[in-house]
């Protein structure tokens, strides 16, 4: 097993230029922006990249590349930024560079560049390998390569190299530069070392006893003297062993207490009202310290559980996380044997539930009055919506139907062969909106006297978005399109400057909810059982965590409560 040895050479960037770095046991990254860029935004981006890689644990080079690229695409980085990053998975190192980013490696006596520019690479790590993550500015303009080669003749470890590089007059440090050094060295196990010492002692004792046995057999007077010497020797050896063991235990206990105290001090330094990303950075650091503590095998399980609980409590405070259990609100099978729901839609107090087997149920969330609509046209429908006293459903290949007070399905929009992959439908002021992720479009059908208008593109020219990974649509006069960990907002067809502040960059939401009756936006991460809540300007409010959220088929929010549809059950969580 190889352990990383890390050190970073960093010159403070002049003015508002940015040069930063971040590293951990398995991830190493530098970021350089030669144009004006705020320090806190650069640090926050590096922390987001670190957290995302640590959370997703990429299993191959492509996954590593996508993890970093997807995050960068969501930021407003200047075009001239540069990055160099590495991630260790077992004995393989995945590497990525962007812009003028460069990565070098020293293997035995050779020191060469591996990659630069917009490139990826991977390879096996061997003992004493030294990697340098930096940019061409440091290596060429700052003559970093020549300086490193000069130092490598007599200094080998990253800390020694950085010390050597730091001996430079301040006036020569013009723009600011950064270089991260990481070498992989054999894992030192204290217990193995102690075992080797004991083995050597045992061999020494064995040789001594062999010689002593020969003397005992050959000389009677020496025999008595030697027996006494052996007894004294064994007593001393026993006491020495006890003293060594006791000392080792004390050393281990001191080390464990030191790490524990460090974790507790870091947690106490967190200001709950401070920047969430900074606080989560501290949480990530203490989690890494806890993992290192676990590897020592010197800590009682109860102590580890206490620390994990303490970290969890602080993390919940930072994330404003509330653990809740949903209560049963309604059972559809009471009204119909085998009843179940696949999709749900809320208009005012009326919850419309689609059963793809040919049924639609309408339930009042106030009075619990129940209505059932059974028609052959509903079978295989995929989407449902409602407005006033009418229910609408979309069936692929057939179009959009409306069921009104006459209780008969009527096709109001014919199937359109130019549709791509329609994944959501919403109605606002009687107008029908369709989200087509296959064509990167939102279609709008205006309500008219005798039906609906022809298809109109809602998104204005110059405001288009790649909807290929979109998940859902919500409308409250503005139109919101949900993705895994961000939301795009439109107003009158024009894309807005809008950002929701997800506290967890690894969030993977599958549906968003918003309407004119609520002041907030809700986003569901089903895999983690988390419902994120934001204000309508994108500010993070809190999150609700519940086991029942991992089981939902759909959800809506009505009067400060989330209603969860899970097959035949509708459950309620007060928010």
**Distance separating alpha carbons of residues 101 and 78, to the nearest angstrom:** 15
Burial bucket for residue 175 (CB in 10 Å: 0-12, 13-18, 19+): middle
**Distance separating alpha carbons of residues 77 and 36, to the nearest angstrom:** 10
Strand 92-98 versus strand 569-574 pairing type: unpaired
Q: What is the pLDDT of residue 253?
A: 47
Q: What is the pLDDT of residue 38?
A: 83
Nearest-CA neighbor of 518 among 530, 491, 502, 536? 536
**Distance separating alpha carbons of residues 443 and 434, to the nearest angstrom:** 5
Nearest-CA neighbor of 8 among 259, 185, 176, 187? 176
Q: What is the pLDDT of residue 383?
A: 97
Half-sphere exposure for 281 (CA within 13 Å, toward CB): 18
Q: What is the pLDDT of residue 257?
A: 62
Structure token pair of residue 409 = 């399905």
**Distance separating alpha carbons of residues 371 and 361, to the nearest angstrom:** 6
Q: What is the pLDDT of residue 202?
A: 45
Q: What is the pLDDT of residue 109?
A: 75
Identify the DSSP state of 13: P
Structure token pair of residue 93 = 């190192």
474 has which bridge partners?
480
**Distance separating alpha carbons of residues 423 and 401, to the nearest angstrom:** 16
Sites in the chain below the pLDDT cut of 70: 13-16, 142, 153-155, 168-176, 188-260, 268-278, 295-300, 505
- Alpha-helix residue ranges (DSSP H) falling in 219-275: 220-268
**Distance separating alpha carbons of residues 572 and 221, to the nearest angstrom:** 94
Q: What is the pLDDT of residue 456?
A: 95
Residues 436, 465 contacting (CB under 8 angstroms)? no
Residues 21, 158 contacting (CB under 8 angstroms)? no
| Rounded to 5°, angle at Cα 406 from 400 and 407 | 60
Q: Which residues of 3-28 are buried (b: 16+ CB within 10 A; e: fewer)?
A: ebebbbbbbebeeebbbbbbbbebbb
**Number of CB atoms found within 10 A of residue 163's CB:** 14
Q: What is the pLDDT of residue 175?
A: 57
- Rg over CA atoms, the chain: 33
Residues comprising the chain, all counted: 575
Domains of the chain, CATH where assigned: 2-186 (3.60.40.10), 190-319 (no CATH), 327-574 (2.130.10.10)
Task: Write out the E strands in 446-501.
Answer: 447-448, 451-452, 456-457, 472-475, 479-482, 487-491, 494-495
């Amino acid at each position: 097993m190889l352990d990383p040895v890390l050190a970073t050479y960093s010159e403070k960037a002049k003015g508002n230029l940015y040069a930063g770095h971040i590293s951990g046991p398995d991830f190493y990254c530098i970021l350089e922006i030669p144009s004006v860029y705020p320090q806190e935004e650069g640090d926050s981006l590096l922390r987001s990249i670190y957290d995302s890689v640590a959370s997703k644990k990429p299993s191959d080079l492509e996954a590593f590349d996508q993890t970093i690229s997807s995050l960068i695409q969501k930021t407003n980085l200047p075009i001239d930024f540069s990055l160099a990053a590495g991630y260790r998975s077992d004995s393989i190192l995945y590497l990525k560079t962007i812009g003028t980013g460069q990565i070098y490696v020293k293997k035995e006596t050779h020191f060469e560049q591996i990659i630069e520019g917009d490139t990826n690479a991977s390879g096996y790590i061997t003992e004493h390998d030294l990697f340098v993550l930096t940019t061409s500015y440091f290596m060429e303009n700052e003559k970093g390569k020549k300086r490193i080669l000069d130092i490598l003749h007599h200094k080998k470890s990253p800390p020694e190299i950085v010390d050597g590089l730091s001996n430079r007059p301040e006036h020569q440090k013009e723009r600011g530069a950064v270089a991260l050094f990481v070498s992989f060295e054999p894992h030192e196990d204290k217990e193995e070392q102690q075992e080797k010492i004991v083995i050597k002692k045992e061999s020494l004792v064995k040789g001594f006893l062999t010689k002593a046995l020969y003397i005992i057999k050959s000389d009677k007077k020496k025999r008595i003297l030697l027996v006494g010497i052996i007894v004294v020797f064994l007593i001393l050896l026993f006491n020495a062993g006890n003293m060594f063991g006791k000392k080792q235990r004390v050393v281990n206990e001191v080390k464990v207490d030191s790490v524990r105290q460090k974790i507790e001090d870091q947690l106490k330094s967190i200001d709950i009202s401070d920047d969430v990303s900074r606080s989560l950075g501290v949480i990530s650091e203490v989690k890494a310290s806890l993992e290192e503590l676990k590897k020592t095998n010197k800590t009682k399980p109860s102590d580890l559980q206490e620390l994990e609980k303490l970290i969890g409590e602080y993390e919940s405070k930072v994330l404003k996380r509330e653990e809740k259990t949903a209560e049963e609100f309604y059972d559809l099978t009471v009204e119909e044997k085998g009843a179940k729901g696949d999709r749900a839609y809320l208009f005012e107090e009326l919850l419309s539930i689609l059963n793809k087997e040919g049924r639609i149920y309408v339930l009042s969330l106030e009075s619990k009055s129940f209505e059932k609509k059974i028609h052959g046209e509903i079978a295989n429908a995929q989407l449902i919506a409602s407005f006033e006293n009418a229910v609408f459903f979309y069936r692929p290949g057939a179009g959009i139907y409306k069921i009104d007070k006459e209780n008969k399905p009527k096709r109001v929009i014919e199937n359109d062969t130019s549709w791509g992959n329609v994944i959501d439908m919403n109605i606002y002021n009687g107008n029908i909106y369709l989200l087509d992720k296959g064509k990167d479009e939102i279609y709008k059908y205006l309500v008219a006297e005798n039906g609906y208008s022809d298809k109109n593109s809602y998104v204005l020219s110059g405001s288009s978005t790649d909807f290929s990974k979109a998940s859902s649509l919500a409308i409250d006069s503005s139109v919101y399109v949900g993705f895994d960990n961000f939301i795009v907002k439109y107003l009158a067809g024009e894309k807005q400057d809008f950002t929701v502040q997800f506290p967890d960059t690894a969030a993977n939401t599958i549906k968003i909810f918003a309407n004119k009756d609520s002041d907030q936006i809700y986003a569901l991460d089903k895999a983690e059982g988390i419902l994120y809540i934001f204000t309508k300007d994108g500010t993070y409010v809190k999150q609700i965590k519940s086991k029942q959220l991992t089981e939902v088929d759909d959800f809506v929010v009505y009067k400060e409560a989330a209603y969860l549809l899970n097959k035949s059950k509708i459950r309620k969580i007060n928010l």
